[in-house]
């Protein structure tokens, strides 16, 4: 949130942790919500609120993948990074429910134009993860290229 605010963008943060929101509140709007058990908080008049950029880090709740994609405005950018299979060998999270399977983000967001994708092991601190950067197609700006896949 901080970086986007410093670039002059309005930001909205969503979390169920009041502590996390207190820390983030100085950078923009914050919304206290339980995304897994409560209603989708980014809704207006039965239509999802849309954003130019959606950033998801260290969080995985697969039922939200369609809502995340729907929250992107045409031409909007998704940046998603979270833990993947293999992480159970180096720490937490270690439950399979909280770890992406190989190329899972590519499949989950296949309707988007994939700009970059990485999966693999990083040290400092040791972790297995996946990252994706993808753009929602904009009918006013056709000509998206085919996906590229990069591996760590």
Pairing verdict, β 72-83 and 113-122: unpaired
How confident is the model at residue 147, as a pLDDT?
40
pLDDT band at 139 (very low <50, low <70, confident <90, very high): confident
Based on its alpha-carbon atoms, the radius of gyration of the chain, rounded to whole angstroms, reads 16
Give the whole-angstrom CA distance, residue 132 versus residue 2.
20
The pTM of the full predicted model, rounded to 2 decimals, is: 0.86
Q: What is the mean pLDDT of residues 40-47?
A: 78
pLDDT at 142: 59
pLDDT at 107: 97
Q: What is the mean pLDDT of residues 16-33?
A: 93
- Domains of the chain, with CATH numbers? 1-32 (no CATH), 44-152 (3.40.50.150)
Residue 47, pLDDT > 50, answer yes
Query: What would the 3-class secondary structure string for 119-148 be?
Result: EEEECCCCEEEEEEEEECCCCCCCCCCCCC
pLDDT recorded at residue 92: 95
């Amino acid at each position: 949130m901080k970086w986007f605010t410093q670039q002059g963008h309005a930001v909205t943060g969503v979390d169920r942790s009041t502590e996390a929101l207190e820390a983030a509140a100085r950078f923009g709007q914050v919304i206290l919500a339980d995304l897994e058990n409560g209603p989708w908080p980014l809704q207006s008049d039965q239509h999802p609120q849309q954003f130019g950029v959606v950033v998801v880090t260290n969080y995985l709740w697969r039922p939200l993948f369609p809502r995340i994609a729907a929250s992107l405005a045409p031409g909007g950018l998704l940046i998603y990074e979270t833990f993947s299979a293999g992480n159970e060998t180096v720490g937490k999270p270690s439950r399979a429910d909280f770890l992406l399977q190989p190329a899972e983000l590519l499949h989950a967001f296949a309707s988007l134009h994939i700009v970059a994708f990485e999966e693999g092991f990083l040290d400092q601190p040791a972790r297995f993860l996946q990252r994706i950067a993808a753009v929602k197609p904009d009918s006013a700006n056709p000509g998206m290229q085919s996906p590229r896949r990069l591996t760590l």
